[in-house]
Structure 1
Amino acid sequence: MSTPDLNLLITLDVLLAEGSVARAARRLRLSPSAMSRALARLRETTGDPLLVRAGRGLVPTPRALALREQVSQLVQDAQAALRPSQVPDLRRLSRTFTLRTREGFVENFAIDLIARISEQAPGVRLHFLDKADKDSTALREGTVDLETAVVDKDTSPELRTQALFTDRLIGVVRADHPLSQAEVCAAGYAAGEHIGVSLRGLDHSALDQALRSLNLTRQIAITVPGFSTALGLARSSDLIASVPERYTTRLRAGMHSFALPFAVPTFTISMLWHPRMDADPVHRWFRGCLREVCSGKTIDI
């Protein structure tokens, strides 16, 4: 059995609506002969005459009358499916977005993101997952909507990326630490005991290279897996934490932060998503919310 030509549905819809080969031809911008051939194909396909002559016009057969509403709905549904997606009513939207990100991002940006989303789409929920590696399988499989990362050579080339903000490493100590009493010099920074953070994407090697260029080295007293732990230790000791500035704004509340007294390269935090979600209007709206929240942060030391 041959597959029917679905384009004939549009022709049949117009023929049944107009009840005239000539008018249907004009509406579809076809010649009358081309429309007559299309009607012949429809009759052959359906096994019914569909439109028969009555005086000087055409009238639908019972089969045509039975098909008219169904065919009209099919054509409308097909046209709707092929139109660009429209953003639904955000006030009525019910959806959960899953974000995979590093420690510190939730503490620093989630409050503002929740506030912005709740204002526009109160039915949207957020689910944050810890980002332990750069494996993009979850994005590819659709179990994660967005990730944050420093884009590098290991980032999957199939993913879409957009920068959120540029960050830099800064020094952080407890409020009454000796380094909080005066401007910090490179020698004073290096002389203290430091907290190392073992986190992929955070280039502490650049920091140590900068110190070596000044003939200085720092002593790592302890290495921890994340910013929160590093800042927690620094808050209650004489240890020095070196962490990203923008990424840890709220985590550093009540502590003394200072610009590093030597040049260290900055780095850019980006959001990543799978191309399948690129044109989804709700996903695009959510990406815009995240971008606005992150770009709205300005921190000066």
Structure 2
Amino acid sequence: MSRPDLNLLVTLDVLIAEGSVAKAARRLKLSPSAMSRALARLREVTGDPLLVRAGRGLVPTPRAIELGTDVGRLVKEAEAVLRPAERLDLKRLTRSFTLRNSDGFVENFGPSLLARVAEEAPGVQLRFVPKPDKDSAPMREGSVDLETGVIGGSTGPEVRAQALFRDRFVGVVRSGHPLCDGKITAARFAAGRHILISRRGLDRGPIDDALELAGLTRTIATVVGGFAEALALARGSDLKTIQAKPSACTGPAFLARSEGSGLLPGSARQNRNGRTRAEPDSHPASLR
């Protein structure tokens, strides 16, 4: 009995991940015709079509889905076995890393991160891409090398995570807002009209859950997808919003973003500029 071509495992892993012969060919740096021939060989070996046409695209068969998990694991284990044992020399490393980050990461951490990379690994390029959701699929598929943000329920067990810091929410209103005068209470915060930040377009968030526990609700006037949009709207109106302030962010970059008055139900206090601020329970931000 002839031994199987183990290179087909890599081909099958990429075909299942991409769901496209053309995309898989680009990822493996092969011609589309070569990838089509490889798919034909896989179909012959497995006795299954693996990918079938649905509309204008291809979808995996039940057998392909069944094979997907095992094939991905085998490919990663093979890569680990063949990885060089010598210590990595960062000075000589030439590679591009893709980082998937939430709104605010680049302006707060980008300069110091790039400076350290330039010093320790000058041949490394960092590519920052936006993070529209908490889905860990890009990590599993290998299109993203590193991701930062709050870990969601969809995070797969194969994704390694490490805690970096804890986010603290800071309320923001424009300078001179009526809320800046007098004692800040949960009821005063909840009153009026609010800006909700939701990348998925939801109509409530963790702040609403916290207010509900206190028997309060707030009126959402508008929903936006990011902190920068919310700040722009709050700066030019009487609307209130919430900004995430990582505990690690204490420099001018963050202070410039959060200029204005901030408050939340909780331990409100006056800062040196006379602005009221309160910080609620924090949320862990992680690197994975």
TM range (shorter): 0.5 to 0.7
**Equivalent residue letter for 1:84:** A
**Equivalent residue letter for 1:271:** L
Aligned counterpart, 2:266: 261
CA distance in structure 2 between the aligned counterparts of 1:208 and 1:82, rounded to whole angstroms:
49
CA distance in structure 2 between the aligned counterparts of 1:109 and 1:181, rounded to whole angstroms:
34
The answer to whether residue 233 in structure 2 is matched with residue 233 in structure 1 is yes
**Equivalent residue letter for 1:172:** V
CA distance in structure 1 between the aligned counterparts of 2:239 and 2:145, rounded to whole angstroms:
38
Structure 1 residue 133: Cα displacement: 2.6
Aligned counterpart, 1:110: 110
Aligned counterpart, 2:273: none
Aligned counterpart, 1:22: none
Unaligned runs of 5+ in 1: 4-80, 273-301
Structure 1 residue 245: Cα displacement: 1.6
CA distance in structure 2 between the aligned counterparts of 1:211 and 1:162, rounded to whole angstroms:
30
**Equivalent residue letter for 1:167:** D
CA distance in structure 2 between the aligned counterparts of 1:211 and 1:141, rounded to whole angstroms:
38
Structure 1 residue 166: Cα displacement: 0.9
Report 1:79-98 matches (<5 A): 84-88=85-89, 90-98=90-98
Structure 1 residue 225: Cα displacement: 1.1
Structure 1 residue 251: Cα displacement: 5.8
**Equivalent residue letter for 2:178:** P
Aligned counterpart, 2:53: none
Q: Deviations over 1:67-101 (max 9, x none)?
A: xxxxxxxxxxxxxx78634120x334332211111
Larger radius of gyration: 1
CA distance in structure 1 between the aligned counterparts of 2:102 and 2:260, rounded to whole angstroms:
21
CA distance in structure 1 between the aligned counterparts of 2:209 and 2:135, rounded to whole angstroms:
28
CA distance in structure 2 between the aligned counterparts of 1:184 and 1:242, rounded to whole angstroms:
15
3-state SS in 2 of match to 1:155: coil
Report 1:193-212 matches (<5 A): 193-199=193-199, 205-212=205-212
CA distance in structure 1 between the aligned counterparts of 2:135 and 2:205, rounded to whole angstroms:
23
**Equivalent residue letter for 2:231:** L
CA distance in structure 1 between the aligned counterparts of 2:181 and 2:112, rounded to whole angstroms:
32
TM-score by length of 2: 0.58
Which structure has the highest helix share of the two? Answer: 1
CA contact (8 A) 1:100 1:144 kept: yes
TM-score by length of 1: 0.56
Structure 1 residue 254: Cα displacement: 2.7
CA contact (8 A) 2:103 2:227 kept: yes
Q: 1:151 to 1:91 in 2, by over 3 A?
A: same
CA distance in structure 2 between the aligned counterparts of 1:210 and 1:134, rounded to whole angstroms:
21
CA contact (8 A) 1:173 1:239 kept: yes
3-state SS in 1 of match to 2:266: coil
**Equivalent residue letter for 1:87:** L
Number of matched pairs: 195
**Equivalent residue letter for 2:242:** S
Q: 1:139 to 1:214 in 2, by over 3 A?
A: closer
3-state SS in 1 of match to 2:188: helix
CA contact (8 A) 2:135 2:154 kept: no
3-state SS in 1 of match to 2:263: strand
CA contact (8 A) 2:135 2:152 kept: no
Aligned counterpart, 1:42: none
Q: Deviations over 1:187-225 (max 9, x none)?
A: 21111211011136x995432233233332211111111
Aligned counterpart, 1:221: 221
Structure 1 residue 180: Cα displacement: 3.0
Higher RCO by CA contacts (8 Å cutoff, separation 6 or greater)? 1
Unaligned runs of 5+ in 2: 4-81, 268-278
The answer to whether residue 157 in structure 2 is matched with residue 157 in structure 1 is yes
Q: 1:199 to 1:260 in 2, by over 3 A?
A: farther
Q: Deviations over 1:166-201 (max 9, x none)?
A: 11222111233222344421121111211011136x
Q: Once superposed, what is the RMSD of the aligned Cα atoms?
A: 3.3
Identity, % of aligned positions: 46
CA contact (8 A) 2:195 2:223 kept: yes
CA distance in structure 1 between the aligned counterparts of 2:166 and 2:259, rounded to whole angstroms:
23
CA contact (8 A) 1:231 1:251 kept: no
